[in-house]
Structure 1
Amino acid sequence: MKLLRPPGVYAPQEDTAMLISALRREHLSPQADVLDVGTGTGAVAIAAAHHGAARVVAIDASAAAVLTARLNALLSGYARSIRVSRGDLTEPVTGLRFDMVLANPPYVPSADVRMTGRGAARAWEAGIDGRAVIDRLCAEAPALLRPGGVLLAVHSVMSNPAMTVKRLTEAELDVTVTDRRFVPFGPVLRERADWLEAQGLIVRGQEKEELVVIRAERP
């Protein structure tokens, strides 16, 4: 289905498609509760509802994204299954537990840390190492999983997936990298290619980044 994608709200891209593809390979029970962190347009939340989730909680820090996700849930016919809340990462669901947590967090390394969490750029800016939000997700998501629950998260190789695997493993989850895909640089990465090269995150002339999906399951 076509989604509303107003300016200032992160539009579904290759990372969104990878996360949805990984979601579709997972089994969801008829009573499954799913959390979508950083929902944007609501594309992943809608995919979870379509895949059989009984209840989906979608969270975003952006008021525009929350409104967009609510409208898209309504237009998709899943408004009764999807609840969209505004909040900081997982704060709105503190103390709750889910069968699946889905996340496409900001992961683009940035020289200007002042942009992290501000305006439309909050959808991608993630601090000097690209892990400003990923590290918080690694710390907060494990406590949200029920036994047998699964976290699926997508991010760039530039933001150190090995560290994500390490931190989730330390949280006593069973962790694997399930998907890898090279995608062309978008405008943000093209604009800062020289800086990324200087940081050793890309090589000269590189025009694609590698994305990964990380799967972490609570035993």
Structure 2
Amino acid sequence: MTTQAQPSATAAVRLPRLISPPGVYAPQNDTRMLARALSCEVVGRSTSLLDLGTGSGALAIQAARLGARVTAIDISWRAVWAARLNAHLSRQHVIVRHGDLETALRGPSFEIIVSNPPYVPSPSADLPSRGKARSWDAGPDGRALLDRICDAAPSALRPGGVLLLVQSALPGTEVTLKGLTDAGLRPEVIDRARIPLGPVLRSRAAWLRRQGLMGAQSWEELVVIRAEKV
């Protein structure tokens, strides 16, 4: 069973300097928010943790530094090799595997699952199979991966286990909260931040507004959701 330490809204987490080759998601604001949420969990040597969609391995390495037994998984072979290299350079033991969401959540259960999945709404319903956009495109409503995580994560958590998930508010924070509740978890938003629109969202701003997914604002809200299996 995991417990949550007293969070600090101003707590800063120093992430390691990592190699992020082209096509592999480099740590950004959402990564740092999720790392801060992870630092508020009580993690020990017996804590089993899954980093779902590890990218460069930033969160997996941070979890290993906290003492967790870490498994990291990504559908991109380039991300797998980057995460393995970064774990080696950081002198942290992380098991990094290649696989999709179903592969990751099949088999042994975990006490903590962390995930920074693709969540950016995209004009195309087809998810990219390669390239940079694979790290963020998530279908017209941005929920292609979020809904699957809501459905599948509970079965991969041990009783008392915790899912830590970061997403933009554009795909609907309340939709995620309801999905996790319906799946048997107890979710809550534990962190929020408004950040300026990045290049991808700026390039899609007109389309997002036509779809009713964004107003006239020049910022995006990121949220971290903590969902406990009771």
Aligned position for 1:61: 75
**CA–CA distance in 2 between the matches of 1:202 and 1:171?**
28
Q: Is residue 150 of structure 2 the alignment partner of residue 138 of structure 1?
A: yes
Q: How much has 1:116 moved relative to structure 2?
A: 4.0
The amino acid across from 1:100 in the alignment is: I
Q: Secondary structure at the match of 2:64?
A: helix
Query: Which residue, 164, 187, 190 being the options, matches 2:202?
Result: 190
Aligned position for 1:159: 171
Q: Secondary structure at the match of 2:170?
A: helix
Q: Is residue 227 of structure 2 the alignment partner of residue 216 of structure 1?
A: yes
Q: Is residue 90 of structure 2 the alignment partner of residue 76 of structure 1?
A: yes
Q: How much has 1:122 moved relative to structure 2?
A: 1.3
Query: Which residue, 91, 95, 99 being the options, matches 2:107?
Result: 95
**CA–CA distance in 1 between the matches of 2:80 and 2:214?**
34
Q: After the TM superposition, list the runs of 4 or more consecutive aligned residues in structure 1 that deviate by more than 6 angstroms.
A: none
CA contact (8 A) 1:116 1:127 kept: no
RMSD across aligned C-alpha pairs, in angstroms? 1.1
- Structure 1, unmatched stretches of 5+, are none
CA contact (8 A) 2:18 2:58 kept: yes
Q: How much has 1:90 moved relative to structure 2?
A: 4.0
Alignment identity in percent? Answer: 53
The amino acid across from 1:215 in the alignment is: R
**CA–CA distance in 2 between the matches of 1:115 and 1:93?**
20
CA contact (8 A) 2:105 2:152 kept: no
Query: Which residue, 59, 62, 73 being the options, matches 1:47?
Result: 62
Shift in alpha-carbon separation, 1:163–1:117, aligned structure 2, 3 A: farther
Q: How much has 1:150 moved relative to structure 2?
A: 0.4
Instruction: Compute the TM-score of the two structures, normalised by the length of structure 2.
Output: 0.90
**CA–CA distance in 1 between the matches of 2:125 and 2:160?**
36
Q: Which moved more, 1:23-32 or 1:13-22?
A: 23-32
Q: Is residue 28 of structure 2 the alignment partner of residue 26 of structure 1?
A: no
**CA–CA distance in 2 between the matches of 1:8 and 1:95?**
28
The amino acid across from 1:207 in the alignment is: S
Aligned position for 2:20: 5
CA contact (8 A) 1:108 1:125 kept: yes
- Structure 2, unmatched stretches of 5+, are 1-15
Shift in alpha-carbon separation, 1:24–1:90, aligned structure 2, 3 A: farther
Aligned position for 2:12: none
Instruction: Compute the TM-score of the two structures, normalised by the length of structure 1.
Output: 0.95
Residues paired across the two proteins, number: 215
Q: How much has 1:70 moved relative to structure 2?
A: 0.1
Q: Secondary structure at the match of 1:113?
A: coil
**CA–CA distance in 1 between the matches of 2:151 and 2:96?**
22
CA contact (8 A) 1:152 1:214 kept: yes
Q: Is residue 56 of structure 2 the alignment partner of residue 36 of structure 1?
A: no
**CA–CA distance in 2 between the matches of 1:69 and 1:210?**
27
The amino acid across from 2:181 in the alignment is: T
Aligned position for 2:29: 14
Deviations 1:87-107 (A, max 9, x none): 112414412100100000100
